């Protein structure tokens, strides 16, 4: 099998952007899309009609299927882009044997609900994929900007530097700069936490807090992220590098951020359910905050921002009250 054969799992904005990136360096991308109507649209019109419709594909480079087992079997490197809450359902017909000797790349910034584990832990525990065969793709990278070919920096983390470097080369192109890391746990947990922080930023924005308070919130947030990732995986890392701080900033401030939008709607008075229905997209932070709250029972890290978001979205505490309490805890 061609060692450059890559499979992409998912059909949303980030999956669509990643397929666009990968076609710069490969003439053979296997792409799993669940919805037959999206497949038909791409094959007939060269666009994903539901996500990033401005992106035009060279369909000659794509082998698209709604059979996930087929795509996995045909691919050596498999990039997962489905939202974390849907990952276990997508893999329901897959076994450990199908993923044996595969390189798993997670482009998912979330935690698998019900399991309360990161994507790397999920593949390791449920499918026996060695951590050395897992790569975490992260960094400040809105799909909309990637689609527009705006300069973007991605970090690929793996305990096997050779594998991380190889995967990074697959993504590197004119508008994608890449680097590698060995911090697979920090580069997974930090994006999960930044989605929660973005919800808090959105809530504050919806409530009418200004830029001054948002700056304090975000500066406290990176300290909260550092406390947690240092407790979970205490290694020497620079929390101010782009894969941590940069990813937090872009999600906390950008109008492309679905987690910030979700929070803004709640701050504007929407119920959680109403916000979810109107967005028609997944705000990973909603699921993540419940998982992190549960995981933190073991570590007991001081996480006032995470606690505030949890109280609002799961305990139905009034955002005005909860944010006043949080404001007294920030420095």
Arithmetic mean of pLDDT, 68-79? 97
Whether the pLDDT of residue 2 is over 50: the answer is: no
Q: Is the pLDDT of residue 112 over 60?
A: yes
The pLDDT of residue 1 is 35
* pLDDT tens digit sequence for 167-193: 999 999 999 999 999 999 999 999 999
State pLDDT tens for residues 217-274: 999 999 999 999 999 999 999 999 999 999 999 999 998 999 999 999 999 999 999 9
**Neighbouring residues of 234: CB distance < 8 A, sequence distance ≥ 6:** none
Distance CA 25, CA 44 (A): 23
Q: If you count DSSP H runs as helices and E runs as strands, how many of each does the chain have, helices first?
A: 15, 10
Q: What is the pLDDT of residue 281?
A: 77
Euclidean distance between the first and final Cα of the chain, in Å? 56
Contact 312, 203 (CB under 8 A): yes
pLDDT at 298 over 60: yes
Query: Looking at residue 3, what is its pLDDT?
Result: 57
Q: How confident is the model at residue 114 (pLDDT cuts 50, 70, 90)?
A: confident
Q: For residues 93 and 279, give the distance between their C-alpha atoms in angstroms, rounded to a whole number.
A: 29
Residue 36 pLDDT > 80: yes
At residue 117, does pLDDT exceed 80?
yes
How wide is the angle at C-alpha 182 spanned by C-alphas 180 and 185, nearest 5°?
120
Report the catalytic residues.
Answer: 194
Query: Which pLDDT band, with edges at 50, 70 and 90, does 4 fall under?
Result: confident
Residue partners of 223: CB distance under 8 A and separation at least 6: none
Q: What digits encode the pLDDT tens for the residues 140-150?
A: 999 999 999 99
Do 247 and 218 contact (CB within 8 A), yes or no? no
| CA 283 remoteness from chain centre | 10
Helix extents (H) in the chain:
13-22, 36-45, 68-74, 84-90, 119-127, 143-147, 161-171, 186-207, 211-232, 247-253, 258-267, 272-279, 284-299, 304-313, 319-327
From CA 14, how far away is CA 144, in angstroms rounded?
8
Per DSSP, the three-state class of 234 is coil
The Cα 140–Cα 162 span in angstroms is 23
Over residues 272-280, mean pLDDT: 91
**SS3 assignment, position 68:** helix
Percent of the chain with pLDDT over 90: 96
Report the alpha-carbon distance of residue 53 to residue 300 in Å, rounded.
44
Share of the chain above pLDDT 70, in %: 99
pLDDT exceeds 60 at position 88: yes
């Amino acid at each position: 099998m061609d060692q450059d054969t890559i499979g992409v799992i998912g059909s949303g904005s980030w999956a669509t952007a990643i397929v666009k990136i990968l076609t710069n360096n490969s003439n053979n991308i296997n792409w799993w899309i669940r919805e037959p109507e999206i497949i038909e649209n791409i094959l007939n019109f060269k666009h994903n009609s539901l996500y990033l419709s401005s992106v035009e594909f060279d369909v000659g480079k794509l082998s698209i299927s709604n059979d996930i087992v087929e795509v996995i079997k045909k691919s050596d490197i498999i990039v997962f882009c489905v939202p974390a809450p849907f990952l276990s359902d997508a893999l329901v017909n897959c076994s450990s044997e199908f993923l044996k000797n595969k390189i798993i790349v997670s482009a998912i910034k979330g935690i698998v609900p019900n399991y309360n584990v990161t994507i790397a832990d999920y593949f390791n525990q449920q499918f026996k994929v060695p951590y050395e065969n897992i790569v975490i793709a992260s960094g400040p990278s809105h799909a909309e900007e990637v689609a527009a070919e705006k300069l973007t920096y991605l970090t690929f983390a793996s305990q096997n530097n050779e594998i991380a470097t190889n995967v990074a080369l697959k993504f590197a192109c004119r508008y994608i700069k890449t680097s590698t890391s060995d911090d697979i746990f920090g580069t997974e947990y930090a994006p999960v936490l930044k989605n929660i922080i973005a919800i808090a930023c959105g809530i504050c924005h919806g409530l009418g807090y200004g830029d001054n308070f948002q700056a304090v919130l975000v500066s406290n947030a990176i300290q909260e992220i550092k406390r947690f990732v240092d407790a979970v995986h205490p290694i020497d890392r620079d929390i101010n590098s782009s894969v941590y701080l940069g990813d937090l900033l872009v999600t906390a401030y950008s109008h492309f951020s679905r987690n910030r939008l979700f929070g803004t709607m709640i701050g504007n008075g929407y119920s959680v359910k109403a916000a979810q229905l109107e967005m028609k997209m997944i705000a990973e932070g909603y699921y993540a905050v419940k998982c992190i709250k549960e995981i933190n029972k073991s570590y007991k890290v001081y996480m006032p921002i995470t606690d505030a978001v949890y109280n609002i979205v799961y305990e139905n505490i009034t955002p005005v009250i909860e944010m006043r309490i949080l404001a007294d805890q920030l420095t």
